[in-house]
Amino acid sequence: MSSISNLGYVVIGSRKIAEWRDFAVDILGLQVGRHDPGKLLALRMDDMQQRIVIEDGDEEDLRAAGWMFKTEHGLQAYVQRLREGGIEVQECSLEEAANRRVEKLYRCQDPNGYALEFYCGGYVAPSNQPFKSALLRGPGFRTGDLGIGHVLVRANDYAQSIDFYQNHLGLRLSDIIRGEVRPGYVAEAAFFHTAGGRHHSLATAAVNIPKVLGHLMVELYSLDDVGMAYDRCRVAGLHFARELGHHPNDQMTSFYVETPSGFSMEYGWGGLVVEDDNWTVKTYSQFSDWGHARPGQAAR
């Protein structure tokens, strides 16, 4: 059975493209791939031409998640399986594919209010234009077969979302966290991985948040780069959704900072890679085993 390799890109709809450029380049250490002021900002994390795309729009939220396949045959077999399962999948035009900087592109709607895009043939930047961050000290962002990171999306119907991601998209359950996030309030989230092996490329939870996207995570090879970015956020006076902390399930050390669009960016180091042959699904009772306190509150 063909399966998704990884989360290859995300697209955000925003009216704050200039603010996103300052945040992404001067705080996070990403590189501009292309920029059409007021219309589009494409950001690089590695040798691919674009990984995070900010398009002009009112959402201030996730517009699309792009899921990568290594071969066109695998992509087409996957699309056929989706259609046989009753999912309406559109083949995108050559112009749309070129705008995403991919060779072949399909799209369907996620039940939680954003587009799912499936592609192969992502465009690689010219060899004389290597990724180069003005800020990062270490080897850079941890991408490759693991993809760009992960998204946590709000589930309009938690049970339906889990069924959709597992039984239609074919994502694989990594684990579940069911824990008290504030006195008297217990939340639950499910975490899913792809063939690429990142502990989770997508998580979903029935949470009362105003946006589809709870957070987008990017991972660094160097813990020092995480610490220095944390300091840059403080100096810039940015709002932390969560202070530095550590997750028990994926072993990520990270912090969460508010983006110009209002959802959070998780910036982390040290995430686990899943090997399906020896992986055991577990349920955890806490979202963080240390840190990740909300500003002004004690860690739980």
Residue 157 and residue 275 share a domain: yes
Sign for the pseudo-dihedral over CA of 81, 83, 85, 88: positive
For 198, which DSSP code? Answer: B
State the DSSP string of 105-119: EEEEE-TTSSEEEEE
Listed residues 104, 120, 136: the one ending a domain: 120
Tens of pLDDT, residues 30-40: 999 999 999 99
Q: Tell me whether residue 126 is in a domain.
A: no
Mean pLDDT of 216-224: 98
pLDDT at 146: 98
pLDDT at residue 1 greater than cutoff 50? no
Range of the domain at 66: 6-120
Whether residues 116 and 148 share a domain: the answer is no
User: Averaged over 290-295, what is the pLDDT?
Assistant: 93
Residues 6 or more apart from 79 whose CB is under 8 A from it? 89, 91, 106, 118
How far apart, in whole angstroms, are the C-alpha atoms of residue 142 and residue 221?
Answer: 6
Cα torsion angle, 277, 281, 282, 287, sign: positive
Q: Are residues 150 and 287 in the same domain?
A: yes
Among 88, 120, 152, the domain-final residue is 120
What would the 3-class secondary structure string for 11-77 be?
A: EEEECCHHHHHHHHHHHHCCEEEEEECCCEEEEECCCECCCEEEEECCCCEEEEEEEECCCHHHHHH
pTM: 0.96
Among residues 86, 120, 154, which one ends one of the domains? 120
Looking up residue 14, the CATH number of its domain turns out to be 3.10.180.10
Residue 299 domain-assigned? no
Question: What is the C-alpha to C-alpha distance for residues 132 and 28, in angstroms, rounded to an integer?
Answer: 13
285 and 159 share one domain: yes
The answer as to whether 266 is a domain residue is yes
Distance (Å, whole) CA 136 – CA 114? 31
Is 38 domain-assigned? yes
Structure token pair of residue 16: 């704050």
CA–CA separation, 263 vs 65, rounded Å?
15
Helices (H) and strands (E) in the chain, counts: 5, 18
* Whether residues 258 and 148 fall in one domain: yes
Would 223 be classed as within a structural domain?
A: yes
Mean pLDDT of the chain: 96
Residue 43 lies in a domain: yes
* 179 and 243 belong to one structural domain: yes
Q: Which residues pair with 40 in a beta bridge?
A: 36, 55
Could you tell me if residue 298 is inside a domain? no
Same domain, 199 and 236: yes
The yes-or-no verdict on residue 299 having pLDDT over 60 is: no
pLDDT category, 179, cuts 50, 70, 90?
confident
Q: What confidence score (pLDDT) does residue 183 get? A: 81
pLDDT tens digits, one per residue of 97-115: 999 999 999 999 999 999 9
Question: In this structure, are 27 and 77 located in the same domain?
Answer: yes
Number of domains in the chain: 2
Binning pLDDT at 50, 70 and 90, where does residue 189 land? very high
Burial class (CB in 10 A: 0-12, 13-18, 19+), 260: buried
Tell me whether residue 130 is in a domain: no
Q: Do 278 and 202 fall within a single domain?
A: yes
Arithmetic mean of pLDDT, 194-201: 98
Does 60 share its domain with 179? no
Q: What is the mean pLDDT of residues 132-138?
A: 95
Q: Are residues 26 and 150 in the same domain?
A: no
151 in the same domain as 114: no
